[in-house]
Structure 1
Amino acid sequence: MKAIRVAQYGQPEGFMFKELPSPVPGKGEVRIEVAGSGVNPIDWKVLSGAMKAFIPLQLPYTPGVEVAGRVAAVGEEVSGFAVGDEVFGFINIVGGYATEVVASADRLAHRPSRLTALQASGVPAAALTAWQALHEHAQIKPGQRVLIHGAAGGVGSMAVQIARIAGATVIATASTRNHSYLRELGASVVVDYSQTLFETVVEPVDVVLDLVGSDTQTRSWSVLKPGGVLVSPVSPPDAKHAEAVGATGKHFATRSDGTQLKAIAALFEKGELVIEVEVLPLSHAEGALRKSWGRHTRGKLVLDASL
């Protein structure tokens, strides 16, 4: 197998594309022949070294949290998956930028037939983040108004659709070039954050999903209804701001969940969810990570493991 290897923390220079032994699945695990690997902000956060106190890694390591591909081998005590199955999943905090990976079977779901393997490789982390933010932490309800910051990115584009499916009215912030895209996904109102202060035009909302952080998060309290919820996987909301407006702030880290991913796959199968991906070769992982670092991608960046 081949894999991208990172020898030291820092900028994404000096990635190595190396030949390694094929991994062997243990109990409850499967080996996947990878078709595609998703690129996510967590990849460059780990690479930067900012998380090494919480996520210690043995160097060198292989980045990548999500993949799609074909089951090539099955370990002991695995049920529900067999050799030849097409699967996708949020496999771990690292390991995905490779042509083969081993993953716990409970982190996987069968790939929906409406998606290509490359499309599916960009789904798990983003969709699970959006799902957990809205359903678990915000407990979204039909008829609510939801404001989503950073709506055109991987998590944001999933969140717009999941909120729409839940029966909410979606207000999104994004650059002008992404407005028609977000309306197609289900946003009722789209605000260009570079031209307009969203708090001057957005009516009070029940939920804010903050995927930007910093000043954007601070300004969001002013549009949140009493009793509302501000959820952010990016940075912890300020408890004093929450108390001042009678709202709740929640911060969380996305967890891998094969059962939730199965429910998400069913929505793709019905055509209720869609994804837009930009594909780059696995050998160009350095450039893909730099592009993700710039935070101006639409949909998801994915790496084609065959190139």
Structure 2
Amino acid sequence: MVHVSIHSGLLCSNAAVVRSFGLAPKYEWFDTPEPSGKNEVLVDVLAAGLHPRVRSQADGSHYTRPRALPLIPGIDGVGRMANGQLVYFVAPDTSLGTFAEKAVVDLRRSVPLPETVDPVRIAAAMNPAMSSWVALRRRVDFQPGQKILVLGATGNAGQMAVQIAKLLRASQVIGAGRDSDRLKALLALGADEIVSLADEPERVAKRLGEAASEVDIVLDYLWGQPAERAMLAILTQRSDRSRKLSWVQIGSIAGPTAAVPSVALRAANFHVLGSGQGSVSTANYVAELPALVDAIAADKLQVNAVPFPLSEVETVWHALSDIKERVVFVPTQ
């Protein structure tokens, strides 16, 4: 519901608002954003996902973070335009995000959706799926038939990566992670082999080396010490070290830095690169949206989503450690 603010005379609507980077967002009235360019429109937000990228945006730790407060978190969402058209959109790079009843959409960063799609599924899946989809289609020269290791495959994005690697016709997908239940579930999502990371570091490295020595691409959602140990373990057991291995750094759950052994770069055809905002242009991200939307809408990817009213944002924020699914906030119009 949109209100008129008694204090400012401006249109106001409900939103999740961060006023301090150390505190959870609070549900409150906030001035409704106004379109400012010829490609911008105001939409009713139907669903917006709480991705790890959003959490780091809200606590001020993300490398692309806007420092201005107050901040409405949320980097993407599903909205309805004034003409009734559903759209998936990536939010403009401002402090006014998608955890609100109303959001500004730059039409150049959006894609139309069929009326039959579930907004919650789209909002939950697009961001975690985009990380591996874009990495394989825009950052490396992936070819059908190649082999892929997903390091950190038991997180939401890692689970998506396993499915996407198979969808794009990898010949072998190896999933590695700590959560035993989720690790076993990867087999039903398309993983050909699974490797547990829940053990002594030396044993884990040995298992990874044995299982993944012949992969062509590593999609790394962990970084930190697990990546350090895995690099040499995989490379030293590789049958042909001159065959290219591309290590794509996507997430840093295990730590923001990793020491890449110099011998790994000299003694093998080893390429380390990242995939994310900056390394991939906005235009290239947007170019991949339609195909990914089609895959999700066609139920080619399993989506684990749980919706919550946006009004419960503060309570949900404090309970995130107990929620395994991707949280999607649904504003009440």
TM-score > 0.5 by shorter chain: yes
**Alignment match, 1:176:** 180
**Alignment match, 1:264:** 292
Of structures 1 and 2, the one with the larger relative CO (CA 8 A, separation 6+) is: 1
Does the 8 Å contact 1:4/1:98 carry over to 2? yes
Separation of aligned partners in 2, 1:112 and 1:154: 25
Does the 8 Å contact 2:120/2:328 carry over to 1? yes
Corresponding position: 1:303 with 2:329: yes
Alignment partner of 1:29 out of 25, 40, 55: 40
Alignment partner of 1:110 out of 92, 107, 112: 112
Q: What SS is found at the alignment partner of 1:202?
A: helix
Give the drift of 1:60. Answer: 0.6
Taking a change above 3 Å as real, the CA distance of residues 267 and 152 of structure 1, as seen in their structure-2 partners, is: same
Q: How does 1:182-197 map to 2 (within 5 A)?
A: 182-195=186-199, 197=204
Taking a change above 3 Å as real, the CA distance of residues 180 and 3 of structure 1, as seen in their structure-2 partners, is: same
RMSD of aligned Cα (Å): 2.6
**Alignment match, 1:252:** 275
Give the drift of 1:48. Answer: 2.8
Corresponding position: 1:162 with 2:179: no
Does the 8 Å contact 2:162/2:186 carry over to 1? yes
Taking a change above 3 Å as real, the CA distance of residues 113 and 197 of structure 1, as seen in their structure-2 partners, is: farther
Does the 8 Å contact 1:148/1:210 carry over to 2? yes
Give the drift of 1:258. Answer: 2.7
**Alignment match, 1:98:** 100
Give the drift of 1:127. Answer: 2.1
Give the drift of 1:290. Answer: 4.6
Which range moves more in the overlay, 150-159 or 283-292? 283-292
Taking a change above 3 Å as real, the CA distance of residues 241 and 11 of structure 1, as seen in their structure-2 partners, is: farther
Separation of aligned partners in 1, 2:114 and 2:125: 11
Does the 8 Å contact 1:279/1:303 carry over to 2? yes
Q: What SS is found at the alignment partner of 1:123?
A: helix
Give the drift of 1:21. Answer: 3.4
**Alignment match, 2:312:** 284
Q: Please, which runs of 5 or more residues in structure 2 have no aligned partner?
A: 1-12
The one-letter code matched in structure 2 to 1:197 is V
Separation of aligned partners in 1, 2:135 and 2:220: 10
Give the drift of 1:236. Answer: 6.6
Does the 8 Å contact 1:173/1:193 carry over to 2? yes
Corresponding position: 1:18 with 2:28: yes
Deviations 1:126-172 (A, max 9, x none): 22211111222232222221111222323212211211012111111
Q: How does 1:16-165 map to 2 (within 5 A)?
A: 16-25=26-35, 26-51=37-62, 54-72=64-82, 83-92=83-92, 94=95, 95-112=97-114, 115-165=117-167
Taking a change above 3 Å as real, the CA distance of residues 69 and 108 of structure 1, as seen in their structure-2 partners, is: same
Give the drift of 1:119. Answer: 1.2
**Alignment match, 2:14:** 2
Taking a change above 3 Å as real, the CA distance of residues 5 and 239 of structure 1, as seen in their structure-2 partners, is: farther
The one-letter code matched in structure 2 to 1:32 is V
The one-letter code matched in structure 1 to 2:248 is V
Does the 8 Å contact 1:87/1:111 carry over to 2? yes
Taking a change above 3 Å as real, the CA distance of residues 37 and 18 of structure 1, as seen in their structure-2 partners, is: same
The TM-score, its normalising length taken from structure 1, stands at: 0.84
Q: What SS is found at the alignment partner of 2:77?
A: strand
Does the 8 Å contact 1:44/1:289 carry over to 2? no
Give the drift of 1:57. Answer: 2.7
Give the drift of 1:112. Answer: 5.0
